[in-house]
Structure 1
């Protein structure tokens, strides 16, 4: 009886380890890479986006590595939530009109860039309070019917500015609205999923 229980335990453990290993190891296609100092130690850190091309949704994984003086890198964050999969509903499913296209590190800010069918949007993260926190969201879009809009949301200050403008021959005047929306605590990169709220 004890041998059966032991064999069953070994089988289950092996299966779980194999599943875990295969789910992690499938993110082997490197899509984008960016370097730059994220934690103000004068060392170039590393951010890599990899993709699981075996999964029918083709999800992305974003990994952040801090550099050490000896040239080594230590993984700080690894998340599959921050970037939507290439095919959220599978390759034959509904296309939601947005797609990942780049990452960048500029002045210590990590930016995740996405394209829309008619426009683009960005999420900006800064390393502060021992976490990567969302400090900015911006979007430029068109409704395809003569109107272009922009959103610029500074989450640090809470100031969110929205504009709309006609790009056809309409005499309609541009609009601009400003609101103060404080989001506290600021969203952390390891838990972040885009567009889970109406604001970002």
Structure 2
């Protein structure tokens, strides 16, 4: 009788475990990048996945460091870095971001509406810190605004130009950055760096 109760309990919980796995395994890889992020000479890996079963189609960013044992270890994983592709079930207008690794830095390229945005992150003291932002905005008519923010140097450069013109208005100012934003909290800096 005890065996029957024990087996019944196991079979009763199986659907719960399978539903939990089912809900978490719908992320399909859509982008990847390989390169050394933590400056140890080993090729790390960055994956961008989309949950195709969720109506909002959230994106997940995962970063794995290759260890000396030739095994990958998770260094970062979040579904909070990017807005979902279909917020509230409707296409939000954002292109699927691109990711790459250059000079030991993670570079994320995004197109959000009329703004092309590139963010550069370095791995430092266990965190991925935002160190530079480059944005290009076109007003849909005749003006482009090219913005470069160097958080390490503390500079903000904005160049406004009429299409076809050789004249440009340049605005350069110093900025103070007390703490660098990180991948963990980049969404709270949405207006400044997206």
Q: Which residue of 2 aligns with 1:59?
A: 58
Instruction: Give matches, 1:178-197, under 5 Å.
Output: 178-193=172-187, 196-197=190-191
Higher helix share: 2
Q: Which residue of 1 aligns with 2:29?
A: 30
| Number of aligned positions between the proteins | 186
Q: Which residue of 2 aligns with 1:152?
A: 148
Q: Does 1:113 align with 2:109?
A: yes
TM-score, L = length of structure 2: 0.83
Contact 1:131–1:188 (CA under 8 A) maintained in structure 2 = yes
State how far apart, in whole Å, the 1-side matches of 2:23 and 2:173 are. 42
1:83-103 deviations in whole A, cap 9, x for unaligned?
22112232xx363x4323310
Report the aligned-residue RMSD: 2.8
Q: Does 1:72 align with 2:79?
A: no
Structure 1, gaps ≥5 residues long:
1-10
SS of the equivalent of 2:191 reads: coil
Q: Which residue of 1 aligns with 2:47?
A: 48
1:39-69 deviations in whole A, cap 9, x for unaligned?
1110000000111011111111000000012
SS of the equivalent of 2:130 reads: strand
Q: Which residue of 2 aligns with 1:128?
A: 124
SS of the equivalent of 2:24 reads: helix
Contact 2:48–2:59 (CA under 8 A) maintained in structure 1 = yes
TM-score, L = length of structure 1: 0.81
Contact 2:155–2:173 (CA under 8 A) maintained in structure 1 = yes
State how far apart, in whole Å, the 2-side matches of 1:178 and 1:168 are. 22
| Cα distance, 1:18 vs structure 2 | 6.3
Moved over 6 A (4+): none
Structure 2, gaps ≥5 residues long:
1-11
State how far apart, in whole Å, the 2-side matches of 1:101 and 1:199 are. 15
SS of the equivalent of 2:84 reads: coil
